[in-house]
């Protein structure tokens, strides 16, 4: 096994989880992260190059003699970071810019799904105020309105109030010239992360995210307030259907593009009461906070898995998993998601729980270290407490035991993570 040096691009909880997984990989001798956060600085070497600086990141990868670059966020992929890295001869886990259109354009994703027969809700392109009323009449409430742009998981309005729907459609037209009105899919949400390339694919354990800020899935959408895996709603029979009806046709499509897709395909699903899957959306990278509960479940070498995908040989890799459950609870700053109070001291986050095979630890996100080495909040989602245990209930309990140890003025978290499964 040839030792590898890895550069992780991004600075959130997802990237901290990736850095931990890579640092624990036998094949990885060095982990770098740019720009990183307080957590990544504890296990990797941080570099102060922003995710928007494509040229700077390529130069950094070359200077580090990186064997692999793992791209966390979607924006640099859309902007062509993977394209530029591959042109420079650097292996990249993350699709080229054309492949990234699956996330950059919700309309493009819908058109691909329709052409392949992938199950998804109907949609209407609304590009003029005069057709708003007729468009709303075509679907029953609740209505789903999506902007056709990258919006960090927040460019979606779901409402049963017709006036609110009309306003969201009007605002979307004014901002972007058109907006998507989608048929609402009922059921329970789940996510499947698929590591793929032209040779094959590997499905990671299904997870469930909690996107709303409040208990019982109330309030505005966020980047994610917690997650757990494996998600029981994705039973073996449901997973078989997801593989057959979604992953297989998408893999066939993506492997046959002029430039094959290499990276993670995030499949956002709605599972109805009959176990039928429907695709809500695709993302072109690991989810956040789904990564925080998925990566810790991988028992085999993460570095080798991601490198294999970047080099187009994932079919030769075996991925093994711990027989455990994972749950993560996000601690958000005061005002999040509308605003974020930053610059506040964080205490107690260095606590770790170890009780036999049950454990809990912190994934850092919006955090920095000040000149005195004090941990300070710097974003909306500050950190998450992640529990691992033989049962989901114990994993959730461990996560909450840990988060109660952490002090951050004005912070808040959801008290019902995994409630659908417990």
Residue-level pLDDT, tens digit, the chain, 422 residues? 789 999 999 999 999 999 999 999 999 999 999 999 999 999 999 999 999 999 999 999 999 999 999 999 999 999 999 999 999 999 999 999 999 999 999 999 999 999 999 999 999 999 988 899 999 999 999 999 998 877 655 578 888 999 999 999 998 898 888 999 999 999 999 999 999 999 999 999 999 999 999 999 999 889 999 999 999 999 999 999 999 999 999 999 999 999 999 999 999 999 999 999 999 999 999 999 999 999 999 999 999 999 999 999 999 999 999 999 999 999 999 999 999 999 999 999 999 999 999 999 999 999 999 989 999 999 999 999 999 999 999 999 999 999 999 999 999 999 999 999 99
Under 8 Å between Cβ of 67 and 85: no
Residue 173, in any domain of the structure: yes
Which residues share a beta bridge with 364? 383
- Domain holding 92: CATH number? 3.40.50.20
Q: Do 90 and 38 fall into the same domain?
A: yes
Residue 389, in any domain of the structure: no
Residue 319, in any domain of the structure: no
Q: Do 13 and 56 fall into the same domain?
A: yes
Collect all residues with Cβ–Cβ distance below 8 Å to 388 and sequence separation of at least 6.
296, 297, 322, 324, 325, 326, 357, 358, 359, 360, 395, 398
Q: Do 80 and 142 fall into the same domain?
A: no
- Domain holding 166: CATH number? 3.30.1490.20
Residue count (the chain): 422
Q: How far is CA 104 from CA 24, 56, 148, 194, in A?
A: 32, 22, 7, 18
Range of the domain at 151: 122-182
Q: Do 37 and 87 fall into the same domain?
A: yes
Under 8 Å between Cβ of 275 and 237: yes
Residue 411, in any domain of the structure: no
Q: Do 60 and 142 fall into the same domain?
A: no
Q: Do 28 and 89 fall into the same domain?
A: yes
Specify the pairing of strand 45-46 against strand 143-146: unpaired
How far apart are alpha carbons 304 and 154 in whole angstroms? 33
Residue 46, in any domain of the structure: yes
Residue 257, in any domain of the structure: no
Q: Do 9 and 88 fall into the same domain?
A: yes
Last residue of a domain, one of 182, 205, 226: 182
CA 385 to chain centroid: 17
Residue 241, in any domain of the structure: no
Closest CA to 208 of 221, 224, 220, 191: 191
Q: Do 85 and 12 fall into the same domain?
A: yes
Determine if the pTM surpasses 0.85: yes
Instruction: Give Dmax over CA atoms of the chain in angstroms.
Output: 63
Domain count, the chain: 2
Residue 112, in any domain of the structure: no
Q: Do 8 and 92 fall into the same domain?
A: yes
């Amino acid at each position: 096994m040839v030792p590898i040096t890895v550069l992780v691009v991004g600075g959130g909880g997802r990237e901290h989880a990736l850095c931990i997984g890579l640092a624990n990989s036998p094949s990885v001798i060095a982990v770098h992260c740019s720009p990183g956060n307080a957590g990544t600085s504890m296990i990797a070497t941080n570099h102060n190059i922003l995710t928007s600086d494509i040229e700077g990141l390529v130069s950094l990868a070359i200077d580090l003699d990186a064997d692999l670059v793992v791209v966390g966020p979607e924006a640099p992929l859309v902007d062509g970071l993977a394209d530029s890295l591959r042109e420079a001869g650097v292996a990249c886990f993350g699709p080229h810019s054309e492949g990234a259109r699956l996330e950059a354009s919700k309309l493009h994703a819908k058109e691909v799904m329709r052409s392949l027969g992938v199950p998804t809700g109907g949609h209407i392109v609304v590009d003029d105020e005069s057709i708003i009323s007729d468009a709303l009449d075509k679907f029953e409430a609740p209505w789903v309105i999506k902007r056709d742009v990258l919006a960090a998981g927040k460019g979606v309005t779901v409402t049963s109030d017709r006036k609110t729907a009309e306003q969201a459609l009007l605002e979307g037209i004014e901002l972007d010239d058109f907006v998507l009105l989608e048929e609402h899919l009922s059921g329970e949400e789940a996510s499947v992360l698929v590591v793929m390339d032209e040779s094959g694919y590997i499905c990671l354990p299904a997870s469930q995210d909690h996107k709303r800020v409040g208990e019982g899935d109330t309030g505005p959408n966020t980047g994610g307030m917690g997650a757990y895996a494996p998600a029981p709603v994705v039973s073996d029979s449901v997973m078989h259907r997801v593989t057959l009806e979604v992953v297989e046709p998408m893999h066939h499509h993506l492997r046959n593009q002029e430039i094959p897709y290499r990276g993670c395909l995030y499949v956002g699903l709605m599972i109805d009461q009959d176990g039928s899957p429907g695709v809500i959306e695709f993302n072109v990278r690991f989810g956040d906070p789904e990564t925080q509960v998925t990566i810790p479940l991988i028992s085999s070498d993460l570095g080798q898995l991601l490198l294999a995908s970047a080099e187009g040989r994932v079919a030769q890799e075996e991925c093994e998993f711990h027989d455990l459950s994972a749950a993560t609870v996000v601690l958000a700053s005061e005002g999040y998601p509308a605003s974020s109070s930053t610059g506040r001291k964080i205490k107690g986050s260095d606590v770790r729980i170890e009780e036999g095979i049950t454990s809990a630890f912190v994934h850092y996100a919006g955090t920095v270290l000040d000149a005195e080495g004090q941990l300070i909040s710097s974003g909306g989602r500050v950190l998450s407490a992640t529990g691992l245990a033989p049962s989901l209930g114990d994993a959730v309990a461990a996560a909450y035991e840990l988060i109660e140890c952490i002090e951050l003025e004005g912070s808040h978290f959801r008290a019902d993570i995994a409630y659908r499964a417990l």
